[in-house]
Amino acid sequence: MKNYVQPGNTVALTAPYAVTSGDGLFVGSIFGIASADAALNDPVEAALTGVFDLTKIGSQACTVGTKVY
């Protein structure tokens, strides 16, 4: 297929704020997990698929199936 670019497991994004490797980040409607540290407006590779262990804010209640960003 001549228009194939990449598998899509990761994508290069511009950090909308400073992120640390393993942090979640939202860019437009894309949510991913930063693969490295990045300062505001720096490029960062973000994982779009996989299972990650993320810390939640203690006061937040989550039920199975709830979208979490």
| Amino acid letter, residue 18 | A
Which of 5-9, 27-31, 41-45, 56-60 has the weakest average pLDDT? 56-60
Give me 43's structure tokens: 């490029």
Please give the pLDDT value at position 57: 76
Three-state secondary-structure class, residue 6:
coil
Domain definitions of the chain by residue range: 1-69
Instruction: Give the helix ranges, DSSP H, for the chain.
Output: none
Backbone angles phi, psi at 60, to 5 degrees: -80, 135
Interval 21-52: pLDDT, tens = 999 999 999 999 999 999 999 999 999 999 99
Mean pLDDT of 55-59: 79
d(CA 32, CA 17): 13
Rg for the chain, CA atoms, rounded = 14
| pTM for the predicted model, two decimal places | 0.80
